[in-house]
Each structure stands twice: as structure tokens, then as C-alpha cells.
Amino acid sequence: MRDLCRTVFCLLAVIAFISTGTSFAQDDLVRERPEKDRKFEEPAKAPAELAPLRTFVVNSNGDGVDATPGDGVCETASGNGICTLRAAVGEANALAGDDAVTFEPGISEIQVNGQIQISSNLIIIGPGANLLTIASVAAQSTTSRVFNVGNFAVSIHGLKITGGFVTGTGGGILNAGSLSLTNVAVDQNRATSFGGGIRSTNTLLIRNSTITANTSTTSTSGGISFAGTNLLISRSAIRGNSSSGNGGGANISASVSATIENSTISGNTAGAASGGLFLNRGTINNSTISGNTANGSLATEGGGGIRIQAGANSVSITSSTITNNSAPNTASGSRSGIWHETGTLTLQNSIVAGNTTQDIQLSGGTLTDGGHNLIGRNTSVETQYPAGLPSGTNWVGTGAVPLDPLLAPLALYGGPTETHALFPASVAIDNGNDTTNTLDQRGYIRPWDVVAVPNSPSGNAADIGSFEADSFPFTAGFPISGRVFEIDGTPIRNTYLVMTDGMGNKYVALTNSFGNYAFEGVEAGSSVPITAAAKGFAFTPKIVIANGPVENVDFLPEP
């Protein structure tokens, strides 16, 4: 390992050694396991084939191309040592095999004039979405997005993508490959056509990320346009995007079975149908859909929160909260919360209430009750949800006397995404039955029994919706540990180690007399930079990905 570190492959070899995934790209493509399983995950050994993975370290905020792609050296002119992001990706594209790109500390913004084309398996590891911005400064054109990802396995961590304005699809990112985004912000990009933020025609996995304020100026899909086969949105926010056509937040093609979990879709606006989501197959679990608007006035438009429309589909909504969405169109009732036209929708342990004028418009298809729901107004679904407090296992109001779920405003009440907290008198508390989740949307323990509140006789003390009242966070984080020692093995005591999390919070550890240090509870899946400082020594910072407990993150002084 130490010999390896004298080569240009040093940094990534270290990262590969200390990471616990089977491989970056492949591991990122594995579906996330439930929190309760990951908690007990044992560290895996990094496979040998990761050792030769090349890393190019961006040391310039310039935009020059690589002088000689394929020579294994990232530099914009022979011998100048200047490695830009564009040069690093260009060099990686020219070389066979997987590559990685990291950034020297202190680089906070890189302005790119024209898209960066990725045509190789690649991992890009930034320090955090709040610490590094990749901004497109090109004039609007067909190539003025930030990244164009070809059909390769690409994962991007810890940076912000902004400023793209494309004539065509995918304002921030156009993806034809297997793309994984973790701790990434896609903010304020525009496209004239599909996908102001992202357009994907292949696999797209979004974790711990935000897709905000993107616009499709003359078409559909403000935040995300998805027409691939595998879509995951987890622990992420899709907020404040807009489209002139359908799908303010996301427009997901009819054949796709999407998984949306522990996420918030809020404040998105469509000029036509589907303010929050157009979704026809898949699952929405432990999520919040709030404050979205579909402004279309035609008979074929509406669906403020969600529109479910295309053919013999099947959508399951569990432990989610759908509120405060609106659709002014009254062509066939007001389609404010959920507009369900075809296929089967199963609703379980969810709040659909407080949407502007109507909660569910059933215009066709089959609505299946999974029990333990809170329906504010049962207009259009009186058969499936007869009024009653309770009505079977459900709590159901009417158009004349709506049931108020007593939700607090959408805000951060813990966890990575905004939720609606429950006021203490809400009937959602302890009247639920959540057999899917061991945590609520925020990552707080569920079910949590409020002793003073009677539980639903057929439930498990879970709350209805995505928020568990009176609960507390489950720390699913992992430890990171290592030693600091001299080349001859002498431990260096009293070395300060500083770790920065994705929110920019700094944590400090001090080595003991054996040179050991440890950080506890590092957020699962996060990539964190660690710096070391000791009197008389200089150390190269490391970036660690906490996919499990990480040991042997050792620091040796620079010669």
C-alpha cells in the first residue's frame, strides 16, 4: 500500500482500500438495503482489481482541455501540471478501464464553457454540494449543459451542478448510462425540452441529493425527465422546479417502475398536468408530496400532487403524506392531490388531506384500500372511503366536513428532507400500521408508541403518513478509524483529525499515545474529507466513503 502511494494511483488506491464497497461503480448500482440490515453490515475487503484504478486530482478551477489525452497524465499543456476538471475527464475518457476524479481542497467553483462529456466508467468525488460548484457559463446551445453522460457506469458525489441552459433535453445532466448521484445538488438549470435538471434514458439512482429550481422552459419535466428502466429517488428533495408542460417535479415514462423513498417532492409547478409527479408504476414510500401545482386548464390536465394515468399500471403509496397540492382545473372535479385515471393504486398508512379543494379525483382505474389512511375529503372516493372517525381502520372526512390532519408547515424537523410534523392532537398519531419501515422519512424510529394516545386496535402504533411523532433519530452512521504514525512506525500522538460532513459540520478527533483516532456515526453513504494536523508534520488529506465501518484510514507524514 505504501509503495502504491508513491505512484500517481496513490489517492484512489487509498480510497479503494479504505472503502468497503465491492467497487464504487458497481456498489452504487446495488439497490439500497433497508436501514435495519445495513446497520449490521460487516466491512468487505476491497477487491484487488480496484488497485490499478487511476485517480486524477483536479488542482485548477480553469476549463482547459487535456493536452495529450491517453498519456495517463492530466495536464493542459505538456509539463505545466495544471489539471482541470475537463482535462481530468478527457484523460479518463481516453484511457481504458475505470477512473476517478477528485479535487484539491480549496477549489470551490469551476466554470465550464460547454458540456463535459463523460465517455468512460468514472467516479467523480467532490467535497460536498455546499463546497464545490460546477457552473455552466456557456450561452444557451445544444451543448451548454454541465455533464453529458454516455452509456457507462458513472457516479458523482459531493458537488453542485448549476447554470446549464440547453436547447434540447437535460439542462444540468443528460444521461444515457448508469448514473448514480449521491450528495449532489442539481440547481437552477434550464432546458427548452424535457428535463430542466436531468434527462435520463437509462439507469438513474439519486441519493441524499437535491433537485431544485430547474426549469423546462417550453416542454415537460422541470426537475427530472426519466425514460429509462431503473429509477431510485432516496432521501432526496425535488423542490421548486417548473415546467411549461407536464411534470413540474418529475415526469416518469409510463413503462418505468420507479422507487421513491424517504424523499420530499414540494413546491413544483407544471403549466399543464402533474405538478409534482407523473408516475404510473412503482412505489412511493415514507415520502412527502406537498405544495405542488398543476396549472393546466384543459380537460386532459390536472393532478396537483400526482397524476397516475398510463394504461394497466400499478402504483403503491405507503406511509406517505400528500397535502397542500393544488390544481385549479375543474374539468372533472378538482384534481388537486392525486388524480387517478387508470390502473391500480393502493393506498396504505398515508395522509391525503388538506389539498386545495379535493384530495383524490378517481376518474377511472381501481383504488385499493390498504388500510390505516387519513383522507381529508372523500369527494369522488366515497365508495372506497366512506366517511367515519374512524371508518374501519381509516379516518375519513367529507367535502362538507373535511378532516384536518393537523399538520405543521413543511419544514426541516430533523433528517435530510423537509416534512410535515404532526401536532399533538392529530388523529394520525398512533392510528397507523406501518409494516414496511423501521424508521420514518427523517430516519427517526418507527413505530413509536405515544403512551398517552390510544393505538388503532389493528395497527402497530405507527403514525399515519411519513412522520412519526415524539420519536427520535436512529443513528445509522458508521465509525471511521485509523492511526497516525511516522514512516518508521512511531505513533504520532496529539494529531488533530478534522472531518467535514455533507452539511459542512466539522468534527474533531485527537490521536492517543498509540496514534489511534476514531470518528463515530458518520452518515451512511456519505463521502467525507479528513485532514490531519500535527506539530512538525504535514499530511495529505483523504476522502473516505462511509458505506460501512471504515478502518485503517492511516496518515503518514509527507516526506
Q: Which is nearer to Ca ion, 449 or 551 (CB)?
A: 449
SS3 letters across 388-427: EEEECCEEECCCCCCCCCCEEEEECCCCCCCEEEECCCCC
Q: Which is nearer to Ca ion, 463 or 523 (CB)?
A: 463
Q: Which is nearer to Ca ion, 448 or 537 (CB)?
A: 448
User: CA-CA distance, 91 to 139, in Å (whole number)?
Assistant: 25
> From the list 301, 463, 501, 554, which residue makes contact with Ca ion (rule: CB under 5 A)?
463
Contact 532, 497 (CB under 8 A): yes
Residue nearest to Ca ion (CB): 430
The CB density around residue 389, as the number of other CB atoms within 10 Å, is 11
* Minimal distance, residue 72 CB to Ca ion, in Å: 7
Q: Sketch the per residue contact string, 77 through 106, with Ca ion: x for CB under 5 A, - otherwise.
A: --------------x---------------
Closest C-alpha among 262, 279, 275, 267 to residue 301: 275
Q: Which is nearer to Ca ion, 272 or 439 (CB)?
A: 439
450 is a contact residue toward Ca ion (CB under 5 A): yes
> From the list 66, 98, 261, 418, which residue makes contact with Ca ion (rule: CB under 5 A)?
66
411, burial (CB in 10 Å: exposed 0-12, middle 13-18, buried 19+): exposed
> From the list 20, 253, 455, 456, which residue makes contact with Ca ion (rule: CB under 5 A)?
455
User: CA-CA distance, 197 to 145, in Å (whole number)?
Assistant: 9
Residue 371, classed as helix, strand or coil, is: coil
Q: Interacting stretch for Ca ion, rule CB under 5 A, among 196-204, 234-242, 449-457, 519-527?
A: 449-457
> From the list 99, 359, 430, 434, which residue makes contact with Ca ion (rule: CB under 5 A)?
430
Contact 273, 246 (CB under 8 A): yes
* Minimal distance, residue 521 CB to Ca ion, in Å: 25
Strands 153-162 and 178-187: parallel
Q: Which is nearer to Ca ion, 18 or 427 (CB)?
A: 427
**In residues, how long is the chain?**
559
Size of the site for Ca ion (CB under 5 A): 13
448 is a contact residue toward Ca ion (CB under 5 A): yes
Helix then strand count (H, E) for the chain reads 4, 47
Question: What letter would DSSP give residue 24?
Answer: H
Q: Which is nearer to Ca ion, 404 or 449 (CB)?
A: 449
* Minimal distance, residue 460 CB to Ca ion, in Å: 9
* Minimal distance, residue 469 CB to Ca ion, in Å: 6
Q: Which is nearer to Ca ion, 28 or 434 (CB)?
A: 434
> From the list 4, 8, 73, 254, which residue makes contact with Ca ion (rule: CB under 5 A)?
73
445 is a contact residue toward Ca ion (CB under 5 A): no
Closest C-alpha among 238, 119, 132, 116 to residue 172: 116
Closest C-alpha among 190, 194, 185, 187 to residue 140: 190
68 is a contact residue toward Ca ion (CB under 5 A): yes
440 is a contact residue toward Ca ion (CB under 5 A): no
User: CA-CA distance, 177 to 165, in Å (whole number)?
Assistant: 21
28 is a contact residue toward Ca ion (CB under 5 A): no
Residue 546, classed as helix, strand or coil, is: coil
* Minimal distance, residue 451 CB to Ca ion, in Å: 6
Provide the grid cell at 487: 514512516
27 is a contact residue toward Ca ion (CB under 5 A): no
Q: Which residues bind Ca ion (CB under 5 A)?
A: 66, 68, 71, 73, 91, 430, 448-450, 453, 455, 461, 463
